[in-house]
Amino acid sequence: MKRIGVLTSGGDAPGMNAAIRAVVRTGVAKGWEVYGIREGYKGLIEGKMIPLGVRDVGGIIQRGGTVLGSARCEEFKTEGGRLKAIRSLNENSIEGLVVIGGNGSQTGTFKLHEMGFPVVGVASTIDNDLVGTDITIGVDTALNIALEAIDRLKVTGSSHQRGFLIEVMGRKCGYLALMAAIAGGAETVVIPEVESDPEEIAQILIHAYEKGKSHAIVVVAEGATYNATRLAEYFKQHEDRIGFALRVTILGHVQRGGAPGASDRILASRLGAGATDALEAGKYGVLVGWVNGKVHTTPLEEVVGKTKEIDMELFELARKLD
């Protein structure tokens, strides 16, 4: 192998740039040329490739987002689009590809693998819902951003005797919400994996006030049936009976935009290096993740089309700690 490519796809995650840097520098150390592919699979189809050397990735480890960019690409979902992508790789003499991204991105990685191209995925998504890894690039930073928001809202809540609904990202996975609730000392948490009852939430908050708490925090996953907006509407409609309403803070994409913390920079560096090691060893069609404290590869056929389940013991812990 003499020349490889690297692209980032899907939602950006803090630490992606650290992974790009690791792929480039470890690839160069192996004697390879490394090309960065701009705008994900869209750029791959269009041949948007640039050579990346050691100095080209200097000063990016601390930056959020992805310097290579990411874009939606409906064409890549078609066989014709993927054939264009393979043709583009061949025309540029790319012999191996590293794809940094989450579930949707790794589905694309697997499709390329099925077509016979040497490809390796790197686990990167703030949702932490990928099978084949204990933790994904971006999770720790996103969690700390959510935690800072909770801490700040507690101050306001205590000052004004108010309750807050804080909605965090995660699509249909409640991991971020659950961890933020535990670390932030929230009164309760609402996640997609467990049916929620607004009346039960109201009773939990009333009980918190009866215990003398001067604020109330409910962390809500965006993918829950009762997300923050629906819960707020319910409490407003029944305010006379419940006795209070709740203010809403939706963190949204703020969680993705932070500079990566130390944990994400280190994780991304190790997974990026693991990706070039996998290519060198001829281990294609795998996801490079982090399992039991070590870099680990999992066949993509065991990853795609699945969602990692959360640990329900942690949900029970969150309920006990309210």
Phi, psi of 229 (to 5 degrees): -65, -45
Confirm whether residue 126 is marked as ligand binding.
yes
17: its two tokens = 């740039």
Contacts for 314-317 with beta carbons within 8 Å, 24 or more apart? 314/178, 314/179, 314/182, 315/178, 315/189, 315/191, 315/193, 315/194, 317/182
- Share of the chain residues as helix, strand and coil, in percent rounded to the nearest 5: 45, 20, 35
Phi, psi of 146 (to 5 degrees): -65, -40
How does DSSP classify residue 77?
A: G
Confirm whether residue 96 is marked as ligand binding.
no
Confirm whether residue 21 is marked as ligand binding.
yes
Confirm whether residue 140 is marked as ligand binding.
no
Confirm whether residue 187 is marked as ligand binding.
yes
In three-state secondary structure terms, 37 is strand
d(CA 187, CA 83) in angstroms, rounded, equals 52
Confirm whether residue 65 is marked as ligand binding.
no
In three-state secondary structure terms, 265 is helix
Confirm whether residue 202 is marked as ligand binding.
no
Contact 97, 275 (CB under 8 A): no
Confirm whether residue 113 is marked as ligand binding.
no
Confirm whether residue 213 is marked as ligand binding.
yes
- The one catalytic residue in 12, 127, 264, 322 is 127
Confirm whether residue 92 is marked as ligand binding.
no
Confirm whether residue 154 is marked as ligand binding.
yes
Confirm whether residue 158 is marked as ligand binding.
no
Confirm whether residue 186 is marked as ligand binding.
yes
User: Is 127 labeled as catalytic in the residue annotation?
Assistant: yes
- Give the neighbor-by-neighbor strand order of the sheet with 49-52: 49-52, 33-37, 3-8, 96-101, 119-123, 286-291, 294-299
295: its two tokens = 């870099």
Confirm whether residue 247 is marked as ligand binding.
yes
Confirm whether residue 40 is marked as ligand binding.
no
CA distance to 40, 92, 93, per residue, from 33 (Å): 19, 11, 10
List the catalytic residues. 127
Annotated binding site for substrate: 125-127, 162, 169-171, 222, 247, 253-256
Annotated binding site for ADP: 21-25, 154, 185-187, 211, 213-215
Annotated binding site: 11, 21-25, 72-73, 102-105, 125-127, 154, 162, 169-171, 185-187, 211, 213-215, 222, 247, 253-256
Annotated binding site for ATP: 11, 72-73, 102-105
Annotated binding site for Mg(2+): 103
